Amino acid sequence: MRILVIEDDREHAKFINQVLSEAGHEVAIAENGADGLVQAREGEFDALVVDRMLPEKDGLKLVEEYRNGGGQTPALFLSALSDVDNRVEGLKAGADDYLAKPFAPQELAARVEALGRRQTTGEPPVTKLKVADLEMDLLARKVWRQGQKIDLQPREFRLLEFLMRHAGQVVTRTMLLEKVWDYHFDPQTNVIDVHVSRLRAKIDKDFDEQLLQTVRGAGYCLQG
Protein backbone atom coordinates (compact mmCIF):
# COMPACT_ATOMS: atom_id res chain seq x y z
CA MET A 1 0.00 0.00 0.00
CA ARG A 2 1.05 3.59 -0.62
CA ILE A 3 0.39 5.68 2.48
CA LEU A 4 0.50 9.43 3.09
CA VAL A 5 1.48 10.36 6.66
CA ILE A 6 0.61 13.94 7.62
CA GLU A 7 2.55 14.66 10.81
CA ASP A 8 4.47 17.81 11.82
CA ASP A 9 6.58 16.19 14.56
CA ARG A 10 9.58 14.87 12.65
CA GLU A 11 10.56 12.26 15.23
CA HIS A 12 7.02 10.96 15.37
CA ALA A 13 6.79 10.95 11.57
CA LYS A 14 10.07 9.03 11.42
CA PHE A 15 8.70 6.45 13.87
CA ILE A 16 5.46 6.01 11.89
CA ASN A 17 7.45 5.75 8.68
CA GLN A 18 9.58 2.99 10.19
CA VAL A 19 6.56 1.04 11.48
CA LEU A 20 4.70 1.18 8.16
CA SER A 21 7.80 0.60 6.01
CA GLU A 22 8.68 -2.51 8.02
CA ALA A 23 5.12 -3.72 7.38
CA GLY A 24 5.86 -3.50 3.64
CA HIS A 25 4.19 -0.19 2.78
CA GLU A 26 5.48 2.76 0.74
CA VAL A 27 5.29 5.96 2.82
CA ALA A 28 5.18 9.64 1.85
CA ILE A 29 5.27 12.37 4.51
CA ALA A 30 3.75 15.86 4.66
CA GLU A 31 4.81 18.13 7.54
CA ASN A 32 1.77 20.43 7.72
CA GLY A 33 -1.93 20.37 6.97
CA ALA A 34 -1.85 22.59 3.90
CA ASP A 35 0.80 20.51 2.14
CA GLY A 36 -0.90 17.33 3.31
CA LEU A 37 -4.18 18.33 1.68
CA VAL A 38 -2.44 19.12 -1.61
CA GLN A 39 -0.60 15.78 -1.60
CA ALA A 40 -3.75 13.86 -0.64
CA ARG A 41 -5.61 15.41 -3.57
CA GLU A 42 -2.85 15.09 -6.15
CA GLY A 43 -1.24 11.77 -5.18
CA GLU A 44 -2.53 8.24 -5.51
CA PHE A 45 -2.62 6.83 -1.98
CA ASP A 46 -4.29 3.81 -0.44
CA ALA A 47 -4.56 5.35 3.03
CA LEU A 48 -4.00 8.62 4.88
CA VAL A 49 -2.59 8.77 8.42
CA VAL A 50 -3.38 12.22 9.80
CA ASP A 51 -2.34 13.89 13.04
CA ARG A 52 -5.14 15.96 14.63
CA MET A 53 -2.95 18.91 15.68
CA LEU A 54 -1.21 20.28 12.57
CA PRO A 55 0.21 23.69 11.62
CA GLU A 56 -1.33 25.75 8.78
CA LYS A 57 -4.42 23.52 8.63
CA ASP A 58 -5.55 21.26 11.48
CA GLY A 59 -6.35 17.62 10.85
CA LEU A 60 -10.13 17.97 11.19
CA LYS A 61 -10.29 20.76 8.64
CA LEU A 62 -7.93 18.89 6.33
CA VAL A 63 -10.08 15.76 6.24
CA GLU A 64 -13.33 17.75 5.96
CA GLU A 65 -12.02 19.69 2.94
CA TYR A 66 -10.62 16.52 1.39
CA ARG A 67 -13.99 14.74 1.69
CA ASN A 68 -15.94 17.80 0.50
CA GLY A 69 -13.72 17.86 -2.57
CA GLY A 70 -14.63 14.27 -3.39
CA GLY A 71 -11.59 12.53 -1.86
CA GLN A 72 -12.30 8.86 -1.11
CA THR A 73 -9.01 7.53 0.31
CA PRO A 74 -9.54 6.01 3.79
CA ALA A 75 -8.14 8.16 6.60
CA LEU A 76 -6.92 7.31 10.10
CA PHE A 77 -6.61 10.03 12.73
CA LEU A 78 -3.78 9.90 15.26
CA SER A 79 -4.27 12.06 18.32
CA ALA A 80 -3.55 12.50 22.01
CA LEU A 81 -7.16 13.73 22.22
CA SER A 82 -8.78 10.42 23.02
CA ASP A 83 -12.12 10.90 24.79
CA VAL A 84 -15.40 9.92 23.19
CA ASP A 85 -16.27 13.41 21.94
CA ASN A 86 -12.88 13.74 20.21
CA ARG A 87 -13.24 10.38 18.49
CA VAL A 88 -16.78 11.11 17.36
CA GLU A 89 -15.70 14.54 16.11
CA GLY A 90 -12.92 12.94 14.07
CA LEU A 91 -15.20 10.34 12.52
CA LYS A 92 -17.85 12.94 11.70
CA ALA A 93 -15.18 14.99 9.94
CA GLY A 94 -14.74 12.10 7.53
CA ALA A 95 -12.10 9.85 9.07
CA ASP A 96 -12.57 6.08 8.86
CA ASP A 97 -10.71 5.24 12.06
CA TYR A 98 -9.21 6.97 15.10
CA LEU A 99 -6.18 5.82 17.09
CA ALA A 100 -5.22 7.50 20.36
CA LYS A 101 -1.62 8.30 21.24
CA PRO A 102 0.40 6.64 22.60
CA PHE A 103 -0.24 3.53 20.53
CA ALA A 104 1.44 0.19 19.93
CA PRO A 105 3.27 -0.12 16.58
CA GLN A 106 1.47 -3.39 15.84
CA GLU A 107 -1.92 -1.74 16.29
CA LEU A 108 -1.06 1.11 13.92
CA ALA A 109 0.10 -1.36 11.26
CA ALA A 110 -3.00 -3.53 11.75
CA ARG A 111 -5.40 -0.59 11.52
CA VAL A 112 -3.75 0.73 8.35
CA GLU A 113 -4.00 -2.72 6.76
CA ALA A 114 -7.67 -2.84 7.76
CA LEU A 115 -8.22 0.49 5.99
CA GLY A 116 -6.73 -1.01 2.85
CA ARG A 117 -9.05 -4.01 3.03
CA ARG A 118 -12.04 -1.76 3.66
CA GLN A 119 -11.23 0.29 0.56
CA THR A 120 -11.08 -2.90 -1.51
CA THR A 121 -14.24 -4.46 -0.16
CA GLY A 122 -16.24 -1.30 0.46
CA GLU A 123 -17.11 -2.52 3.96
CA PRO A 124 -18.07 0.16 6.51
CA PRO A 125 -15.97 0.49 9.68
CA VAL A 126 -16.95 -1.78 12.55
CA THR A 127 -18.11 0.32 15.50
CA LYS A 128 -20.12 -2.25 17.45
CA LEU A 129 -19.53 -5.87 18.46
CA LYS A 130 -22.07 -8.40 19.70
CA VAL A 131 -21.73 -11.93 21.10
CA ALA A 132 -24.99 -13.47 22.32
CA ASP A 133 -26.51 -10.79 24.59
CA LEU A 134 -23.17 -9.07 25.22
CA GLU A 135 -22.73 -5.81 23.29
CA MET A 136 -19.79 -3.42 22.87
CA ASP A 137 -19.78 0.09 21.41
CA LEU A 138 -16.22 0.80 20.25
CA LEU A 139 -16.73 4.54 19.80
CA ALA A 140 -18.49 5.21 23.09
CA ARG A 141 -16.23 2.66 24.85
CA LYS A 142 -19.26 1.10 26.56
CA VAL A 143 -20.36 -2.48 27.21
CA TRP A 144 -23.81 -3.89 28.03
CA ARG A 145 -25.25 -7.29 28.73
CA GLN A 146 -29.01 -7.78 28.66
CA GLY A 147 -29.28 -4.00 28.72
CA GLN A 148 -27.21 -3.68 31.89
CA LYS A 149 -24.18 -1.41 31.61
CA ILE A 150 -20.87 -3.07 32.55
CA ASP A 151 -18.03 -0.85 33.73
CA LEU A 152 -14.61 -1.99 32.55
CA GLN A 153 -11.10 -0.71 33.11
CA PRO A 154 -9.16 0.19 29.92
CA ARG A 155 -7.19 -3.09 29.91
CA GLU A 156 -10.34 -5.11 30.55
CA PHE A 157 -12.00 -3.33 27.64
CA ARG A 158 -9.10 -4.18 25.30
CA LEU A 159 -9.17 -7.79 26.50
CA LEU A 160 -12.90 -8.12 25.92
CA GLU A 161 -12.69 -6.41 22.53
CA PHE A 162 -10.05 -8.90 21.39
CA LEU A 163 -12.10 -11.84 22.66
CA MET A 164 -15.25 -10.54 20.96
CA ARG A 165 -13.44 -10.02 17.67
CA HIS A 166 -12.38 -13.67 17.90
CA ALA A 167 -15.64 -15.03 19.27
CA GLY A 168 -15.94 -18.80 18.95
CA GLN A 169 -12.17 -19.20 18.56
CA VAL A 170 -9.64 -20.36 21.12
CA VAL A 171 -7.42 -17.42 22.05
CA THR A 172 -4.05 -18.42 23.47
CA ARG A 173 -2.02 -16.71 26.20
CA THR A 174 0.58 -15.78 23.60
CA MET A 175 -2.04 -14.05 21.47
CA LEU A 176 -3.28 -12.08 24.47
CA LEU A 177 0.21 -11.10 25.57
CA GLU A 178 1.03 -9.79 22.09
CA LYS A 179 -2.25 -8.18 21.13
CA VAL A 180 -3.60 -6.90 24.44
CA TRP A 181 -0.45 -6.33 26.53
CA ASP A 182 1.98 -5.66 23.64
CA TYR A 183 4.44 -8.17 25.11
CA HIS A 184 6.54 -10.30 22.79
CA PHE A 185 7.77 -12.47 25.63
CA ASP A 186 6.13 -14.26 28.53
CA PRO A 187 6.68 -12.20 31.71
CA GLN A 188 6.04 -15.35 33.76
CA THR A 189 3.31 -13.68 35.78
CA ASN A 190 -0.39 -14.39 36.27
CA VAL A 191 -1.40 -11.05 34.75
CA ILE A 192 -3.65 -12.70 32.16
CA ASP A 193 -5.33 -14.99 34.69
CA VAL A 194 -6.04 -12.04 36.98
CA HIS A 195 -7.58 -9.91 34.24
CA VAL A 196 -9.62 -12.79 32.79
CA SER A 197 -10.93 -13.55 36.29
CA ARG A 198 -11.94 -9.91 36.79
CA LEU A 199 -13.54 -9.74 33.36
CA ARG A 200 -15.46 -12.97 33.92
CA ALA A 201 -16.80 -11.63 37.22
CA LYS A 202 -18.16 -8.59 35.41
CA ILE A 203 -19.65 -10.14 32.28
CA ASP A 204 -20.75 -13.58 33.56
CA LYS A 205 -21.24 -13.62 37.34
CA ASP A 206 -24.79 -12.26 37.46
CA PHE A 207 -26.05 -14.00 34.33
CA ASP A 208 -27.33 -17.52 33.67
CA GLU A 209 -25.24 -18.20 30.56
CA GLN A 210 -21.46 -18.20 30.99
CA LEU A 211 -19.83 -16.73 27.87
CA LEU A 212 -16.14 -16.67 28.79
CA GLN A 213 -14.80 -20.21 28.83
CA THR A 214 -11.38 -21.52 29.86
CA VAL A 215 -10.02 -24.08 27.43
CA ARG A 216 -7.69 -26.11 29.61
CA GLY A 217 -4.15 -26.23 28.29
CA ALA A 218 -4.99 -23.91 25.36
CA GLY A 219 -6.41 -20.56 26.40
CA TYR A 220 -9.82 -18.91 26.44
CA CYS A 221 -12.90 -18.74 24.26
CA LEU A 222 -15.80 -16.30 24.24
CA GLN A 223 -18.90 -17.95 22.87
CA GLY A 224 -22.63 -17.54 23.11
Q: How many CB atoms lie within 10 A of CB 40?
A: 23
> For residue 119, what pLDDT band results from cuts at 50, 70 and 90?
low
What is the distance between the alpha carbons of residues 78 and 157, in angstroms, rounded to a whole number? 20
d(CA 76, CA 17): 15
pLDDT at res. 126: 67
- The CATH number of the structural domain formed by 2-121 is 3.40.50.2300
Q: Using DSSP bridges, classify how beta strands 142-145 and 148-150 pair: parallel, antiparallel or unpaired.
A: antiparallel
| Per-residue confidence (pLDDT) for residue 36, from 0 to 100 | 94
Alpha carbon distance 203, 143 (integer Å): 9
- Residues 52 and 46: their CA atoms lie apart, in Å, by 19
Classify residue 147 as left (phi > 0), alpha (psi -120 to 50) or beta: left
- Tens digit of each residue's pLDDT (9 = 90 or more) over 12-64: 999 999 999 998 889 999 999 999 999 999 888 989 999 999 999 999 999 99
Residue that wins the pLDDT comparison between 194 and 79: 194
Q: How far apart are CA 101 and CA 43, in angstroms?
A: 27
Q: List the one residue out of 114, 131, 6 whose CA is nearest residue 60.
A: 6
Per-residue model confidence (pLDDT) at position 84? 77
Residue 153, C-beta contacts closer than 8 angstroms, at least 6 positions apart: 198
What is the C-alpha separation between 126 and 192, in angstroms, rounded? 26
pLDDT band at 93 (very low <50, low <70, confident <90, very high): confident
- The length of the chain is 224
Distance of CA 19 to the CA centre of its chain: 15
The single-letter DSSP state of residue 8 is S
181 φ/ψ angles, rounded to the nearest 5 degrees: -100, -10
Give the C-alpha separation, 135 to 150, whole Å.
Answer: 10
Query: Which pLDDT value is given to residue 90?
Result: 84
Helix residue spans in 26-139 (DSSP H): 33-42, 59-68, 84-92, 105-121
| Rounded Cα distance, 98 and 28, in Å | 20
**Where do the domains of the chain lie?**
2-121, 128-222
- Closest to 209 measured CA to CA, from 144, 133, 129, 128: 133
CATH 1.10.10.10 fits 128-222, yes or no: yes
